[in-house]
């Protein structure tokens, strides 16, 4: 018994899926963390999000060199 008509199917798109996230543990000097939190507060974003933005910008820059 056929349940799917493969002649009429179309490709599924999932534009709102988020990339898989992995939790890590990162030790930072307390003054660095305090500065990061202060900058994040000024920009009204969580400090973890600001850190991810900084890391992405730097990674993109480094990857452009290669």
Could you give the residue ranges of the DSSP H alpha helices within the chain?
A: 30-43, 47-65
Phi, psi of 5 (to 5 degrees): -90, 95
**Residue 27's pLDDT band (cuts 50, 70, 90):** very high
Q: What's the token pair of residue 11?
A: 């490709």
Residue 6 inside a domain? The answer is no
Give the whole-angstrom CA distance, residue 66 versus residue 62: 7
Residue 9 inside a domain? The answer is no
- pLDDT by residue (tens digit) across 33-66? 999 999 999 999 999 999 999 999 999 999 998 7
* pLDDT score, position 1: 57
Give the whole-angstrom CA distance, residue 55 versus residue 30: 18
Residue 37 inside a domain? The answer is yes
43: containing domain:
30-65
Domain count, the chain: 1
Residue 45 inside a domain? The answer is yes
Pick from 52, 45, 3: nearest CA to 24: 52
Residue 38 inside a domain? The answer is yes
């Amino acid at each position: 018994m056929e349940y799917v008509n493969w002649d009429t199917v179309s490709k599924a798109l999932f534009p709102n899926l988020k990339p898989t996230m992995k939790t890590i543990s990162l030790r930072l000097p307390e003054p660095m963390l305090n500065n990061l939190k202060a900058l994040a507060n000024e920009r009204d974003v969580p400090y973890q999000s600001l850190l991810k933005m900084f890391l992405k910008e730097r990674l993109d820059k480094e990857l452009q060199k290669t």
